[in-house]
């Protein structure tokens, strides 16, 4: 019984971690066709901003976390304008050289990976130069609940709730609102969307900003429970990539499903054989999933649906 509770809590924990790590990356990849290898560093920005807002400015924790998300979102918009779409450098070069110098990185997957890796190097090392090898951490709020001989941090349960809430909010944003409709139209057919009066340029910018803000919020949410060092983004990167790949093209549903499946695998193997084996199991599961479901879980669901429609 107690072991069952342990396993359930561990599952919730893994689920929240995977979903939150992947959410921002999945939106930017799934919607814009850009792989953001600086995703871990966006998480770092959120975590550092929230922590510094608490320790230096004395803001309440919840406010500080929102600040972390907002700052990272703004940084994401800056990144999109300068690097991903090259809009600002091109504006300057149009007036000085009379031509564009940067071709947007949309749907140039390999180039977007390499460019954002450059950004990631700059951010990691920049954080190290500015703040040193670690900064003071904020305490974990809410205490712990205990059952039997065990106790568990309440905050981690809250995180699981928040991750589900964020998924629902993202799903709502992209499927039920005007903005979501325009964003999806931009993805599906840029020219037609433009003809229908959608400002596609702004859609890309905002989508990237939302993805970045989610990454920043993830960092801010995990700030109390992970150690604050310049490389903290790395520990999110693997889970994020694996979740995105296993999830497939449908962003929110894919992230939720792969968070569920991978979270279960991670929790079970970690519980039985320790965290190292848990992590290896996660990666092996991802490789096997890719071998048999090259388009991820949602791609597979899509295929099944198509087949059923054809047979009807």
Partner 1 sequence: MSRNSANGEANRSLPGRLRSRFEGPNTIGESRGFWVGFAVAVAALVVYPAFGDGSQLSLFMVLALLGLSLSVVWGYSGVLSFGQVVFFGIGAYTFGVVSINFATPGGITAAVVAGIVGGGVSAAILGYFMFYGGVRDVYVTIITLVSTIVMHTFMAQTAGSEWAIGEAALGGFNGMPDIPLLTLGIEGASYQFIYNPFPMRIIGIGSFEISPFYYLVLLLLVGTYLGLRVLVNSDYGRVMVAVREDEDRTEMFGYNVTRIKFVVFTLGGALAGLSGVLYAARNVYIDPTVFSLLFATLPVIWVSIGGRKSLLGAVVATLAIEYLRISMAGELALVLLGTLLLVTILVLPSGFVPWLHERIVETRLGPGEAGGADAPDTPSEVSD
Residues that bind partner 1 (CB under 8 A): 35, 83, 86, 89, 101-103, 109-111, 113-115, 117-122, 124-126, 128-129, 234, 237-238, 241-242, 245, 276, 279-280, 283-284, 286-287, 290-292, 294
In angstroms, the Cα distances linking 86 to 9, 52, 230, 281 are 44, 31, 27, 40
Q: Which is nearer to partner 1, 117 or 171 (CB)?
A: 117
The minimum distance between CB 265 and partner 1, in angstroms, equals 14
Rounded distance between C-alpha atoms, residue 44 and residue 162, angstroms: 19
Q: Which is nearer to partner 1, 119 or 166 (CB)?
A: 119
The minimum distance between CB 49 and partner 1, in angstroms, equals 20
Cβ atoms of residues 215 and 39 within 8 Å: yes
> Comparing C-alpha atoms, which of 222, 250, 272, 176 is closest to residue 45?
222
Under DSSP, the state recorded for 137 is: P
Cβ atoms of residues 83 and 119 within 8 Å: yes
The minimum distance between CB 224 and partner 1, in angstroms, equals 25
The minimum distance between CB 3 and partner 1, in angstroms, equals 25
Residue 106 CB partners (closer than 8 Å, separation 6+)? 32, 33, 34, 84, 85, 112, 204
The minimum distance between CB 295 and partner 1, in angstroms, equals 9
> Comparing C-alpha atoms, which of 46, 57, 67, 58 is closest to residue 220?
46
The minimum distance between CB 7 and partner 1, in angstroms, equals 23
Q: Which is nearer to partner 1, 86 or 224 (CB)?
A: 86
Q: Which is nearer to partner 1, 194 or 231 (CB)?
A: 231
Helix (H, G, I), strand (E, B) or coil at 152: strand
Q: Which is nearer to partner 1, 67 or 246 (CB)?
A: 246
The minimum distance between CB 118 and partner 1, in angstroms, equals 4
Q: Which is nearer to partner 1, 17 or 66 (CB)?
A: 17
The minimum distance between CB 83 and partner 1, in angstroms, equals 7
Summary count for the chain: helices (H), strands (E)? 13, 2
Cβ atoms of residues 225 and 217 within 8 Å: no
Residue 308 CB partners (closer than 8 Å, separation 6+)? none
Cβ atoms of residues 24 and 241 within 8 Å: no
Q: Which is nearer to partner 1, 57 or 109 (CB)?
A: 109
Q: Write out the two tokens for 188.
A: 């599906």
Q: Which is nearer to partner 1, 165 or 294 (CB)?
A: 294
């Amino acid at each position: 019984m107690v072991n069952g509770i342990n396993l359930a809590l561990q599952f919730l924990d893994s689920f929240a971690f995977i979903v939150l790590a992947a959410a921002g990356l999945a939106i930017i990849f799934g919607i814009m066709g850009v792989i953001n290898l600086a995703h871990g560093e966006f998480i770092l920005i959120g975590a550092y901003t929230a922590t510094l807002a608490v320790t230096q400015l004395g803001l309440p924790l919840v406010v500080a976390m929102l600040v972390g998300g907002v700052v990272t979102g703004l940084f994401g918009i800056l990144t999109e304008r300068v690097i991903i779409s090259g809009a600002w450098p091109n504006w300057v070069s149009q007036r000085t050289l009379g031509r564009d110098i940067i071709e947007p990185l949309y749907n140039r997957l390999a180039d977007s990976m390499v460019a954002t890796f450059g950004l990631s190097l700059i951010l990691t090392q920049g954080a190290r130069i500015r703040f040193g090898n670690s900064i003071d951490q904020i305490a974990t709020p809410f205490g712990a609940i205990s059952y039997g001989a065990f106790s568990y941090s309440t905050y981690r349960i809250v995180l699981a709730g928040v991750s589900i809430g964020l998924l629902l909010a993202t799903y709502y944003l992209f499927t039920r609102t005007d903005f979501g409709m325009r964003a999806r139209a931009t993805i599906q057919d840029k020219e037609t969307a433009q003809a229908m009066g959608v400002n596609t340029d702004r859609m890309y910018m905002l989508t990237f900003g939302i993805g970045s803000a989610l990454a920043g919020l993830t960092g801010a949410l995990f700030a109390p429970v992970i150690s604050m060092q310049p490389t903290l983004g790395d520990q999110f990167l693997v889970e994020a990539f694996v979740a995105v790949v296993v999830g497939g093209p449908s962003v929110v549903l894919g992230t939720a499903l792969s968070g569920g499946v991978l979270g279960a695998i991670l929790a079970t193997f970690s519980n039985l054989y320790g965290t190292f084996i848990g992590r290896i199991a996660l990666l092996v599961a991802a490789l096997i999933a890719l071998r048999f479901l090259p388009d991820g879980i949602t791609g597979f669901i899509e295929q099944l649906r198509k087949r059923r429609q054809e047979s009807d």
